[in-house]
Structure 1
Amino acid sequence: MARFLSGPLASAARHSLLLGAPAPAAGGMEPRASCLPFLLLLLLLGTSGFFQSYAVEVDVKDASNATCLYAKWMMRFLIKYETNTSDYKDTTLHLSSSVTHNGSVCGNDTQAALLAVQFGEGHSWSINFTKTNETYQGDFITFTYNTNDTAVFPDAKRKGPITIVVKDIMHPVQLNNVFVCHNTDFVEAENVTQIFWNVTVQAFVQNGTISKKESRCRADTPTSAPTVPPTIANVTTASTTTLSPAPTTAPKPVENPDTGNYSLKSGNKTCLLATVGLQLNVSRDKPLLININPKTTSADGTCGNTTATLKLNDGNSTLISFTFVVKNASASVQKFYLKEVNVTLLNRLNGSVISNADNNNFSKWDAYLGSSYMCRKEQTLEINEDFQVHTFNLWIQPFLVKANKFSTAQECSLDDDSILIPIVVGAALAGLIAIIVVAYIIGRRKSYAGYQTL
């Protein structure tokens, strides 16, 4: 059940709690004199409607009514939208007092946890969490805003829900630790700035008890105070804002994905085997690398005599399918190859399609029928200008699998180090011949120089 603070945070006491100011002492004593001007300023800001966001607290229970996912945070959204006059306006979308959390999921070792809230006139926000043996972290944030809400989007040209998906910037947190971040952080994508502050969250709660161990965000110190939520002005003014998390620091490179093992069955027999690490590169606005987590990914598809399709669902928002065909099916010597790759991004909240890309003109990963194809090095499949699929440690056999094992593998040229030997030997011989020729020419010139006309 979700719980909320009652009403806008307008009182001085609530402001002092929100922004880390000292609270009144026990016994009704007044705050120290040094805090009075600060509290008066907050009171003025509160009466002017500066603080309109509501704090939301979500406590997700499992089947035994024990807490499995807990979060309490504040957020708002700065959105630029187009009007009917083709101008662009800035607006601010706040959490309302009526927020639901339908669709939130506890998660487990094979399924991601999902924190989802719905508010206002058709707006929703969600984040999913995945875990390893030691840590958990936020994966993707999905935000949907509805421009039919005329109070927030007056005279909007585009009507209806608009969904964006961004990679979460949360760092891995130790299991059984609660993540805390008082300071303001924000994520920007597609004319939307998502702003968060006063965040407390723990996914995969153990034994139904919120941990007392804290993992702080980098912007926080154990005694740091929460920051004032930003406005459109101080977010768009890069020279004065202190909200950007170290903008001059180079982004941390994304590690290679874990390798997953997938298979399909036809009746009781395995008909397709695949071992691969997958990474999706989405570059519509800015490059975004998405590692497919094999622990949360399920395999489905079809097997046939001349066509086979492997469909992978990462359990969150990504579907990837690979279609293999047999070429020259009537020939005595037959080969298979990868012909088509399809990538679909979904809205995790309602399952609707956000984006889809397909390329059915591949001619890759070819091998003789009855054998397998292997390529340990990284390969790139270009779906279109916005989507790429990177594969690592690939081993695939889509036809004629026997005894649930891969057949003899045909390795890709990237892995075949044996071709380097003749290249190196040939280069050495060419160099030696060049040296001999040069030495011969120099020797001939010296011998000619020794003869003089009598």
Structure 2
Amino acid sequence: SEGDRGNSTCIKAELSASFSITYDTANGTRTVVVPLPGSAVVGVASSCGGDGRFPSLVALFGDGHSLGLSFSSNVSLYSVANLTLQYNLSDVSTFPEANGTDVVTVETTSVGMVARVNTTYRCISASPVIVGGATVTFSNVTMEAYMTGDDLSPNESVCTADQSFTTAPPPSPSTTTAAPAPVPTPPGTPTQGRYSVSNSNGTVCLLARMALQLNISHFSASQNKTIQEVVNLLPNQTTSSGSCDPTSATLVLTQGSATNLSFLFTLNTTSNRYHLTGLSVVAAWPDMTVSLPLAEECQLDQDSMLIPIVVGAALAGLVLIVLIAYLIGRKRSHAGYQTI
């Protein structure tokens, strides 16, 4: 998308985005994931600023939906100062069984896209931004504002998430002996993240602060054997979604397109306490031959099956003792002299 100033371009952006939106239905809440389509167009509200206004880029898509980015700058840096998401609940194909037909507008100033002036902002990694009751996840972003020409600057400001990845140099062509597979470096202690689920009115109904580390065994296609991988979830690359009902709640954590964790919480209406009743992990890493769902029964649930087994065995033993005592007593009653 581009924003024009006369015959010149002042904003240019090439990006992918998806929107995780929670809304009300007659049966509670529902969460949908809406991608930004390639057919999105630049809206008339886009401008290059001036007269006290910030430069802004507004992309229109679907039936009354839009994504807006406004920019600000100082002497050395420019940034996305405001993100605005507008979605139309009357679009039944996107929001089935929605309670309302309102056009909802949510916005945030905590976007985290900053670049040096006269450089192109680049961020390939998935970058989630929480805005109201929705989460906007950007990826493959190449963008520049306050442009001095019609083309993106060849100089780049790379986001922090991309800087954390390093690329190994290609092997030397003269090498004839295959090197042994490198031993993976342990990921270390995972970082604590803050994950939440909100109702359509923006009220947080589920909040979790936790550090997550996955220890997964799977068959490696490259090594032709089963290996064990330890992976930390990175909060700045993980999006949260889910739903809340009167007696249950779901938290779904997604890191990129390869890892998905789902937590199911259930409320015990008698004790008025909630507990974790389900946990599933779906991983689709490049070296896997198949995607692996992982779900393991917790120790407490395993122990809970032991109790009825022990009680049943005790009752069976008690019945056996009573039966033996009855037979012995009956035999003794026929001993000795008989009455004529």
* TM-score, normalised by the number of residues in structure 1: 0.37
Question: Higher strand fraction: Structure 1 or Structure 2?
Answer: 2
Question: Comparing both chains, which one has the higher relative contact order based on Cα–Cα distances under 8 Å and sequence gaps of 6 or more?
Answer: 2
* TM-score, normalised by the number of residues in structure 2: 0.48
